[in-house]
Amino acid sequence: MVNELNALESKIAQVVSLCRALRAENAQLRQQLASAEGDKRGLFERMEAARSRLEQLAEQLPEAKSTV
């Protein structure tokens, strides 16, 4: 009986340890995700600004004359 309780205690300790490790990993992954989402937003804003500048430059280009 004592051996069974010791084995159970050991297994519970392993589960608790694993749970703590998974919680820490989850927190780290959440931070990485938040950082990646911030980077994504920044890149999207840069792409939109570049698109807008390119559209403005395209509007300033002279029209091509057809020689047909």
What residue spans define the domains of the chain?
1-52
Angle at 65 between CA 63 and CA 68, to 5 degrees: 155
Q: Is the pLDDT higher at 65 or at 59? A: 59
**pLDDT, tens digit, for every residue of 9-55?**
999 999 999 999 999 999 999 999 999 999 999 999 999 999 999 99
- pLDDT at residue 7, as a whole number: 97
- pLDDT at residue 5, as a whole number: 96
- pLDDT at residue 65, as a whole number: 72
Three-state SS at 35: helix
- pLDDT at residue 63, as a whole number: 83
The beta-carbon contacts of 44-48 under 8 Å, at least 24 apart in sequence, are: none
pTM: 0.67
Can you tell me the distance from the alpha carbon of 23 to that of 19, in angstroms, rounded to the nearest whole number? 6
